[in-house]
Amino acid sequence: MKTLWSGSREGSLLRYRAMAFTVGTGLLLLVFVGIPIQIWGHSKAVVAVVGPIHGYLYLIYLAAAFDLARRERFPISRLFVMISAGLVPFVAFIIEHRIVASLRAEERSDATAS
């Protein structure tokens, strides 16, 4: 995993993708497992563990998204979409997919243009 910590576009993209996947999964756990158990199971066990972990992972997700957006000169609107994608179940995966697709399309066109 050498590129994960490298200061390249690939490293930045990989960090963002890893965090998008982590935060997306964490949010699904929280919303579809933790909260139903809290409401109907009257147990805070899952929420008490997953909640804070997810909260702090989301901070790392913010940093990763910010790093990618700055590095690739994304317009601020796209960064907002990336940030809010981490707050809505399932959306983090979709936005991550589209960001990767748009960067890959750009690479392909750069390769053919040069």
Q: How far is the CB of 4 from other proteins (least distance, A)?
A: 22
**Distance (Å, rounded) from C-alpha 99 to C-alpha 95?**
6
| Smallest separation (angstroms) from other proteins to the CB of 12 | 16
3-state helix, strand, coil in the chain (%, to 5): 85, 0, 15
Min dist CB 102 to other proteins, Å, is: 4
Determine the Cα angle at 16 with ends 14 and 22, to 5°: 100
Distance between CA atoms of 39 and 3, rounded to whole angstroms? 42
The HSE-up count of residue 17 (CA atoms within 13 Å, CB side) is 14
Span 69-98, contacts to other proteins by CB under 8 A: 70, 72-76, 78-79, 81, 98
Please tell me the count of residues contacting other proteins according to CB under 8 A: 26
Cβ proximity to other proteins: between 1 and 111 the closer is: 111
The reply on whether position 2 binds other proteins by CB under 8 A is: no
Site residues (CB under 8 A) for other proteins? 48, 51-52, 55-56, 59, 62, 66, 70, 72-76, 78-79, 81, 98-99, 101-102, 105-106, 109, 112-113
